[in-house]
Each structure stands twice: as structure tokens, then as C-alpha cells.
A and B are shown apart, each in its own frame.
Chain A
Amino acid sequence: MTETPKIRIRDLHKTFGPKVVLDGLDLDVMPGESVVIIGGSGTGKSVTLKCTLGLMEPDSGTIEVDGESVVGLNARERERVNHKFSMLFQSAALFDSLPVWENVAFGPIADKTVTRKQGKDLAIEKLAQVGMPAEVADLFPSELSGGMQKRVGLARAIAGDPEIIFFDEPTTGLDPIMADVINDLIVKVTRELGSTGLSITHDMASARKIADRIAMLYQGKIIWQGPADSIDDCDNEYVQQFINGRADGPIEMAVRK
């Protein structure tokens, strides 16, 4: 491999008080690739993304974006690096004091790549890309259903033409049909933009659909990774237990002890 990975994480550690969340995580994401991290709730999937975005400082380890180390950057450098990223948050995290169109065009307006006036047209265009009519542009996030909020969040995530998009549990809390709509949209918009994708989920249907490669996070480490279509054949007991959703197996839930 001569290509520089888009994201390269090595030996990442993060603890909260006595609780060890990440314990030597290694992960590479190649340009244009879609990687999905699977793992149970509270295993540190969101923490991994937040460390990469600089929303949290890891205790130790390195994170490189396009070969540049991004741990411990100052605010201005961080802002420059974060221009490459965008993120669809687990709760969509729309700004509820702003109408939908201002949410969608927030990044480009903040960067001054568009004026407020152009921003509205841009927002309507991006909303159309995620299958939403222009009328929603003037609604407020609280007037939308969960699935619609996710789609607006997706429109906001693609509005700045990011190189890398993070998806934090894009289908959690949605009905299966809406979940599938979101999965299709994720595949469509990342392909159109040619972006690199890093998603985290515990929804296997979603992982199979959007991933080129799947990595499983357990006890702070990536314990298995491979092409999405090979996951059913893998002989890792942990992965098998997780994808088949069995209560019995090597992964023990804290409640059962």
C-alpha cells in the first residue's frame, strides 16, 4: 500500500476516571472507502469519532488525517482540519433556534462561501438531494419527525462538500423502512461527493448496506476487520455473537454478572 490513508489511528487510549473506554485502538480508512465500526452500546464508538474531530482529547495515541497529525491542534489549526470533515450526529443535533434551511446552509454561510441569500437556494438543493421538498426549508426542526430530522442532518452534513463524513448511528431510533431510506441516501450522497465515510452503528442491516469494510470494536480495541461481504464467514466468536444478536457467547453483558 503506497496510498496515504485518509484517517490513520494508532494505539488510541481514552479513559474517563477509572473507566477504560479506548485501549489501544488502531484503524485505517482509505480515501473513498466506507468503513463501518460495529460494537455494542457504550463501547466507545462515539468517543473514537469525537477524538478524531477534536471534540475530545485522547489520553495517548496518534490520529493522522491525510498524513497530518491532528491530536492537540490549536483552535485555528483544528478549524482548518475540520473543514475536511462533517458529521451526522446520533440525535441529528439540529439547531432548534434556526429554521431548516439555515441549519442546512450553516457551514457554507459560516465559511462565507455563500451569502445568506444564496444559502437558502443551496439548502433547498441539498434538501432535494435527500428527498425533501422545498417547503420544509422554512419549518423548524421541532416540527419534523425523527426520520426527517435525520435527513435534514444528512443534508447539513453534505452541504459543505466534505472530504470525510462521519455517521454516528444513522439509523438508531428509526423504523426499518426509514432506516433503509437513510442507508440508501448515505450510499448515494457519499458516492456523489466521492467522500470517505466512517460510520458507527450497532444495526447490522445498516452496516451491511453502507460498508465496504467492517471493523468490530470490543473492549477498546478493534478485534476484527474485513470486507463487508466476508463478515458472515468469519470465525471470530465475538463477531458471530454480535451479528447474530445472541445473548450467549463470549461477550458478556454487565447485567448478567
Chain B
Amino acid sequence: MNILQHIGHYVLKFFRTVGRLVLFTLTAVSHCVRPPFYPRAILRQMLEIGYFSLPVVGLTTIFAGMVLALQSYTGFSRFSAEGAIANVVIISITRELGPVLAGLMVTGRIGASMAAELGTMRVTEQVDALTTLSTNPFKYLVAPRLIAGVLMLPLLVFIGDIIGVLGGYLVAVYQLNFNPSNYIQSSWEAMETMDVLSGLVKATVFGFIISLMGCYHGYSSKGGAQGVGKATTDSVVSASILILCFNFILTVLFFEK
């Protein structure tokens, strides 16, 4: 009908969603820092997010490292600058590909399952049951996931960095026939603490985003199986977009001179 009415409706809806999300985030964070804590729940989430995601993150980063070495060889060989490959691999992996790939893979693995689990608990009244058993759902369900996400993602990315660089090494040495000790030497020289650290800071932020989106969408889901399905999709889509968005923002903050 009225076009202004439509615009107004969506603007209002947008601000309502943002408001709800901000409120959810503040409540969740405040529960992360106030007792009681649930160490068993936190440990369980740390295992789930950290340990069980290792294979996925390891596989993604090793292939990323391998393909980086191959591609940059094609690009650099004309200038006979093969030594630069170690440089490209290590900078790309630690600064960008490690955190972003791990973040996206963990979103698919963990963000989705958090949304599905909390969503199911919501629609089957398990969240209400927690409240009646004098347990705050934010403390018992949301806080452990946020804490585990923030702690485990940097660790995952750190391991992912090592595996990714190893992938580059394997291709450089066995496929491109580089001298192993030369390659390790130039990798070592190319490595900057700042690159690794910035990647780990990104990972911490991504871990927060993944858990937050999984919990928010799961916690606010309604309307049975369909609602849970929608919550799962929403959590993956929103977390992925936010990760890419914050990756850009953090890169600007870290490396813009």
C-alpha cells in the first residue's frame, strides 16, 4: 500500500531486532562474569568446540596452505622469486586464512548445533524447566558456550596456523622440489609476532560471534521443528556474515597505517 508505511515497518523491525540482540548480548556477558559458574558445562563445550573441531579445522587449513604454495608458485615463477612463497603462505595463513576459515568451519559445525540444541530445548519447554528448577538458563546454557567459544577459537586457530604452514611446506618441498632447510629458514624469517597475534585476536572475536549467534537464535526460536530449522539457518548465515564483516574491520584496525 503506502510505501512510507512499508519502510517504517522494516525500519522499526530492524531496530527491534538490534535492540533485542544488544540486550541479549549484555545479559549473556554479565552472566559470564558473575557466579555461579558451571565448570562441567564449560568443559563440555570446550571439548565440543575445541577438540572435536580439530579435524575439520586441520583439514581446511592444510589444504589452504597447500593450494597457496601452488598458486603463488605460478604467480612468482616468472620473476624467479620462489623464496617469496614461504612469505605468502605464512602471512596469508596467520593473518587471514587461519582465522577466517576456522571461523567459518566452526560456524557450520558448532553455531548450527548450538542453535539447534537450544532451539529444541526452547520449543520442548526444557528452557522453562530450567527456570522452574531455580537455574538461570543464561548461566547454564548461554554463558558456558560463550566462554568456551572465546577460549577455544584462538587455540584452534593457533593449531590451524601450524598445520596450514605445514601444508605449504609439503607442497613446496615434495611438489616444487625446494630445499627443505631453505624453505624453513625463509618461513621463519617471514613470521611476524604481530601477524600471528592479530589472527588470534580475530579468532577470539569470531569465537564470541559464533557462540553468540548460535545461542541468540536458538534461545529465541519458536514454533516447533520449523522454528528450530530457521534458527539454525539464521545462526549460520548471520555468524558467517558477521565474521567476514569483523574480519575486515579488525584488519583495518591492525594494519592500516
Could you say which residues of chain B place their CB within 8 Å of the CB of A75? 136
Tell whether A197 is near chain B: CB-to-CB under 8 Å: no
Tell whether A240 is near chain B: CB-to-CB under 8 Å: no
Closest chain B CB from A111 CB (angstroms): 6
Tell whether B133 is near chain A: CB-to-CB under 8 Å: yes
Produce 1/0 per residue, B119-153, CB < 8 A to A.
Answer: 00100111011111111100000000000000000
A110 touches B133 (CB 8 A): yes
A111 touches B134 (CB 8 A): yes
Closest chain B CB from A209 CB (angstroms): 24
Closest chain B CB from A141 CB (angstroms): 10
A93 touches B131 (CB 8 A): no
A91 touches B124 (CB 8 A): yes
A90 touches B134 (CB 8 A): no
Tell whether A95 is near chain B: CB-to-CB under 8 Å: yes
Partner of A85, one of B125, B130, B132, B136: B132
A50 with B124, Cβ < 8 A, contacts A106-B135, A110-B134, A111-B134 known: no
Tell whether A214 is near chain B: CB-to-CB under 8 Å: no
A95 with B129, Cβ < 8 A, contacts A79-B134, A82-B134, A110-B135 known: yes
Produce 1/0 per residue, A76-100, CB < 8 A to B.
Answer: 0001001101110111011111000
A55 touches B135 (CB 8 A): no
A54 to B131 Cα, complex, angstroms: 9
A218 to B130 Cα, complex, angstroms: 30
Closest chain B CB from A70 CB (angstroms): 13
Q: How large is the interface on B (under 10, 10 to 19, 20 to 34, 35 or more residues)?
A: 10 to 19
B132 touches A53 (CB 8 A): yes
Q: Is the interface of B mostly helix, strand, loop or mixed?
A: helix
Q: Which of A224-246 contact B (CB under 8 A)?
A: none
B131 touches A55 (CB 8 A): yes
A91 to B120 Cα, complex, angstroms: 12
Tell whether A107 is near chain B: CB-to-CB under 8 Å: yes
Could you say which residues of chain B place their CB within 8 Å of the CB of A96? 126
Could you say which residues of chain B place their CB within 8 Å of the CB of A111? 134
A83 with B131, Cβ < 8 A, contacts A90-B125, A93-B125 known: no
A91 to B135 Cα, complex, angstroms: 19
B125 touches A53 (CB 8 A): no
Could you say which residues of chain B place their CB within 8 Å of the CB of A94? 126, 129
Closest chain A CB from B196 CB (angstroms): 36
A82 with B131, Cβ < 8 A, contacts A91-B124, A93-B124 known: yes
Question: A-side interface residues toward B, CB under 8 Å?
Answer: 50, 53-55, 75, 79, 82-83, 85-87, 89-91, 93-97, 106-107, 110-111, 156, 160
Question: B-side interface residues toward A, CB under 8 Å?
Answer: 117, 121, 124-126, 128-136
A-B contact pairs, 27 of them (CB 8 A): A53-B128, A53-B131, A53-B132, A55-B132, A79-B134, A79-B136, A82-B132, A82-B134, A83-B134, A85-B132, A86-B133, A87-B129, A89-B125, A89-B129, A90-B125, A91-B124, A91-B125, A93-B128, A93-B129, A94-B126, A94-B129, A95-B121, A106-B133, A107-B135, A110-B133, A111-B134, A160-B133
